[in-house]
Amino acid sequence: MDEFRIRLGGEILKCSGDASPLGGVLEYATQQDWIILPSVDMRAMPSGIVNDEVIERWWKEFQSRWEPNCDAVYLVLHGAMVCESFLDVEGDLLQRIRKLPNAANKPIFGVYDLHANFSPAMALHADCLVAYRENPHTDARKSALQAAKLLMRHFNTGQTPSIQSRQLPLIWPPTNTGTADEPMFSLQKQAREMEEEDEHIWAINITAGFAFSDTPDTGVSLQVIGTKDAAPIFEILEALARSPKTIGVAPELEIESIIPSLKEPVDGLTVLVEPSDNIGGGASGDGTECLRALVTHHIENSAICLNDPEAVQMLANCAKGEAIALRLGGKGSQLDPGPLKLEVEFVSRSNGRFELENKQSHLASMCGDRFDMGPCAVVRHKNISILLTTNKTAPFDLGQWRSQGIDPETLNVIVVKAAIAHRAAYDPITARSFTVNTSGACSSDLRQLPYKNLRANLL
């Protein structure tokens, strides 16, 4: 529970106009003179299975604020949460909402993440849920606004759409779900064309799924929201999803194989992408394998961020320039080699709060205009800068570095613990990029994962 930020009632309205999906919907609601009855908003950085008490807290707060005479329900969801007692959190909560007084036929609209594992219960108990269309999620706010506009369409026309959903026999790691690459590029293009061609289709979702949730609904799925039979649409899109198109994803390389390249800097930034320690995917964000490589091979003018509250606390009383031995990283995953002991020079500390440079970034979809990394410290080992955070911080905005006095554009090498979502921030300043294979929890090789609940015959 203590990892969730909780907003209740009127506090939610303070988000109006910020860069999050919720902020966009609230701003639109004001423009349309809607009366909003705010209930509960709970958010946390992706991690492991959620305690039941968190879900029950959300339900208690929502239920206590239920107004049977409201005109509609609007929900800002993710879609891949799993808790201790049930695998389909969103589907279960939607079913509970339907059982509230006067809620059985209430219009339920909302927005959710492209990486949801969309369940039959979500389709059955909601009327219109719109997925983000882009990965990186630069359109999260835009998608939330689209869902709100479709709700206004319902009010204006009296029509209520339905959600038809088809789960495909496919499961893709996050690295295969970028919408600038195949197969997502062609799927999204085809879906948008179909939407334009038929007024009875309100929206089409290409839901890429979240491979690190072990559920019967995990995997790629399609949703058609509208007032017509979706079977022909599903046939076309499924054939496209299963076609033998080349998937445009960079191969994951062993770190040692790229060291010669790193020792010959190019004119510009080199990014080492580490999907297995993907913070946005729920990994610990403190893996040490890339740091070990930087240290062992003396990679000049390089940087890495580790989520290590213990190390931050150890530096609480250090003076600038003071030398100290620290056990860095390797504390959040049993798959990591473990903490790396280094002699470092203390550079700076801060409260870790920064304003996002890109208000359309994936991070904005999670937090709005600002992010709180918790107390932070910057240390240096030889010519390697190490940013240490108290709170896990997905590397989706360059303000993370600049707020700590580090300009990423002046570095030779930087390690990014992500899969795809970092690209909106880093691609414009990157000269070259290598995706490296390490032993973190979010491996792109899904064959390594000990699934128990997947549907049979997933590809």
Tell which of 241, 265, 280 closes a domain.
Answer: 241
The answer on pLDDT for 248 being more than 60 is: no
Split at pLDDT 50, 70, 90, the class of 350 is: very high
Split at pLDDT 50, 70, 90, the class of 445 is: very high
Same domain for 334 and 285: yes
What proportion of the chain, given as a percentage, has pLDDT over 70? 99
Q: What is the pLDDT of residue 251?
A: 78
Q: Which domain holds residue 436?
A: 252-446
Q: Name the pTM for this structure.
A: 0.94
- Tell me if 11 is assigned to some domain: yes
Same domain for 79 and 219: yes
- Tell me if 451 is assigned to some domain: no
CA pair distance 215, 196, nearest whole angstrom: 34
Question: pLDDT digits over 44-78, tens only?
Answer: 999 999 999 999 999 999 999 999 999 999 999 99
Residue 74, SS3?
strand
- Tell me if 459 is assigned to some domain: no
Q: Is 158 exposed, middle or buried (0-12, 13-18, 19+ CB in 10 A)?
A: exposed
Question: pLDDT digits over 92-143, tens only?
Answer: 999 999 999 999 999 999 999 999 999 999 999 999 999 999 999 999 999 9
What proportion of the chain, given as a percentage, has pLDDT over 90? 94
Pair of tokens at residue 286 = 């403190």
DSSP 63: H
Average pLDDT, the chain: 95
Please give the average per-residue pLDDT across 369-395, as a whole number. Answer: 97
Please give the average per-residue pLDDT across 300-317, as a whole number. Answer: 97
Same domain for 412 and 321: yes
Tell which of 241, 276, 296 closes a domain.
Answer: 241
Same domain for 270 and 229: no
- Tell me if 120 is assigned to some domain: yes
Same domain for 332 and 236: no
- Tell me if 229 is assigned to some domain: yes
Same domain for 271 and 235: no
Tell which of 201, 221, 241 closes a domain.
Answer: 241
Please give the average per-residue pLDDT across 23-37, as a whole number. Answer: 97
Rounded (10°) CA dihedral 425, 429, 434, 438: -40
Tokens 């509960």, residue located:
40
Cβ atoms within 10 A of the Cβ of 425, count? 26
CA atoms lying within 13 Å on the CB side of residue 208? 29
Same domain for 408 and 286: yes
Same domain for 417 and 332: yes
The answer on pLDDT for 246 being more than 60 is: no
- Tell me if 362 is assigned to some domain: yes
Q: How many residues does the chain have?
A: 459
CA pair distance 131, 116, nearest whole angstrom: 8
Q: Which helix (H) or strand (E) holds 129?
A: strand 128-131
Split at pLDDT 50, 70, 90, the class of 458 is: confident
For helices 289-296 and 255-262, give the axis angle rounded to 10 degrees. 40
Same domain for 311 and 288: yes
CA atoms lying within 13 Å on the CB side of residue 333? 26
Please give the average per-residue pLDDT across 153-179, as a whole number. Answer: 97
Q: What is the pLDDT of residue 441?
A: 93
Same domain for 259 and 129: no
The answer on pLDDT for 353 being more than 90 is: yes
Cα 277 vs. chain centroid, distance in angstroms? 13
Total structural domains within the chain? 2
Please give the average per-residue pLDDT across 235-264, as a whole number. Answer: 86
The answer on pLDDT for 392 being more than 80 is: yes
Q: Which residues pair with 435 in a beta bridge?
A: 252, 273
- Tell me if 247 is assigned to some domain: no
Pair of tokens at residue 141 = 């706010």
- Tell me if 363 is assigned to some domain: yes
Same domain for 324 and 430: yes
The answer on pLDDT for 361 being more than 90 is: no
Question: pLDDT digits over 217-245, tens only?
Answer: 999 999 999 999 999 999 999 999 998 76
Split at pLDDT 50, 70, 90, the class of 202 is: very high
Same domain for 218 and 86: yes
- H helix and E strand count, the chain: 13, 19
